[in-house]
């Protein structure tokens, strides 16, 4: 267990010494196409601002955000544009920012949608990645090179699976009942 591990992100202390890298993945349920898409109306949809505050105060050398592709279209694209405006005070995808927002952090921001299957993972999973490089740090960034997928899901699944991972007969009956009548 780490020495300091707050259970509530709003109660956490921001270290005064800058981190080398800050990695965050604000809850995606507010933006997911599979969810209700409540965006900022969902309390989980505003946790971005908690991470933004951390970056403002701590000024890590680098940061990485990861989220679902649905973030791009939330509120007609306004939510994602706000994230970009607040995180990319120096440049965005190599283009200089002439008039940064007053709340933006002084970072070079790169963003892209990456699909796990294009990077050797047997899963079709698109995610938005935002990478920030502090304005005084080396700004030589490139996205990983795509590679052919050589594995299929069946290649990584185990042949023998522990019984604890199987649904009980009773649970299966309840699911079938639920599906049939609802």
**pLDDT tens digits along 91-136:** 999 999 999 999 999 999 999 999 988 988 888 889 999 999 998 8
Strand pairing category for 21-24 and 62-68 = parallel
pLDDT of 107 reads 95
pLDDT of 91 reads 94
| Catalytic choice (28, 68, 86, 133) | 28
Q: Which regions of the chain are under pLDDT 70?
A: 1, 30-45, 182
Q: Full-prediction pTM beyond 0.75?
A: yes
User: What is the C-alpha to C-alpha distance for residues 33 and 48, in angstroms, rounded to an integer?
Assistant: 18
Q: 71 near 81, Cβ under 8 Å? A: no
Can 41 be counted among the known catalytic residues? no
Q: 73 near 86, Cβ under 8 Å? A: no
Element (H, E) at 113: strand 107-115
């Amino acid at each position: 267990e780490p020495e300091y591990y707050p259970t509530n992100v709003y109660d956490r202390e921001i270290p005064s010494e800058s981190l080398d890298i800050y990695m965050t993945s604000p809850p995606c349920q507010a933006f997911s196409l599979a969810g209700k898409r409540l965006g900022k109306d969902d309390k989980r949809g505003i946790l971005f601002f908690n991470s933004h505050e951390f970056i403002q105060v701590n000024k890590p050398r680098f940061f990485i955000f990861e989220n679902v592709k649905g973030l791009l279209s939330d509120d007609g694209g306004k939510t994602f544009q706000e994230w970009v405006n607040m995180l990319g005070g120096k440049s965005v995808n190599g283009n200089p920012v002439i008039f940064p927002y007053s709340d933006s952090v002084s970072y070079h921001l790169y963003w892209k949608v990456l699909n796990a299957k294009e990077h050797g993972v047997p899963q079709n999973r698109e995610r938005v990645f935002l990478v920030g490089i502090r304005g005084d740090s080396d700004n030589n960034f490139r996205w990983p090179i795509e590679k052919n997928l050589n594995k299929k899901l069946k290649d990584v699944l185990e042949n023998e699976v522990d019984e604890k991972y199987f649904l009980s007969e009773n649970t299966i009956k309840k699911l079938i009942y639920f599906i049939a009548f609802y």
